[in-house]
Amino acid sequence: MQPLISAIWKRRWRANRRRSPERVLHEIDQGSEFLGRSSDEEIYLAIALAVAPLGACATSATVTQAPLSAGISQDFQGSFETVREAARASVQSDLPVAIRGVEERGGAYIINYEIGVSAFSWGEVGRVVVTSVDADTTRVTLHNEKRYQVQVTGQGERRLATQLFEAVQRRLQP
């Protein structure tokens, strides 16, 4: 996409370079190609600029390919099995997410989820990773990405992590 935009601007610059400043000002007053009539190049440029932000969208692959340590972590006192079940139950009932898959990889229990599109957000994707630190300590890590990186609204990683960690802690209380 970048070479197309560069080629359009180079051609435009070469064409404008040959015109006198008076001619350029006259065209602006009369409504030049950029200010009124559309050429094919301008249509391509408009499409390229409209589509370019979509390249920064997060997908489930964005999150699943990140390192298992990516995100916000908290350690809990308890066996791996106990904390894993508390985390699973917390994600299911205490977070505003839809679980998209569960897997075990390299001694880690991974819950993949997504948050759907709403009136204020393009949605989010994320995962919760439960790993054993030692016999009595288990780490829970939440990694979350907004689908559209420039959106201001949405749950956000910090807020979801806080909700998750508080829910896990409540479930681990005797």
Query: Would you say residue 153 has pLDDT above 60?
Result: no
Cα separation values, 155 from 48, 97, 117, 126, 161, Å: 29, 10, 12, 11, 10
Query: Would you say residue 104 has pLDDT above 60?
Result: yes
Task: Quote the distance between the C-alpha of residue 154 and its chain's center.
Answer: 11
Give the per-residue pLDDT at 35.
44
Domains of the chain by start residue, with CATH: 2-55 (no CATH), 57-172 (3.30.310)
Q: Going by DSSP bridges, is the β-strand pair 137-146/124-134 parallel, antiparallel, or unpaired?
A: antiparallel
Give the SS3 label for residue 70.
Answer: coil
Q: What is the pTM of this model?
A: 0.63
Tokens read off for 120: 């204020």
Q: Which range has the worst mean pLDDT, 35-49, 85-99, 118-132?
A: 35-49
Query: Would you say residue 128 has pLDDT above 70?
Result: yes
User: Which among 67-71, 146-150, 170-174 has the top mean pLDDT?
Assistant: 170-174
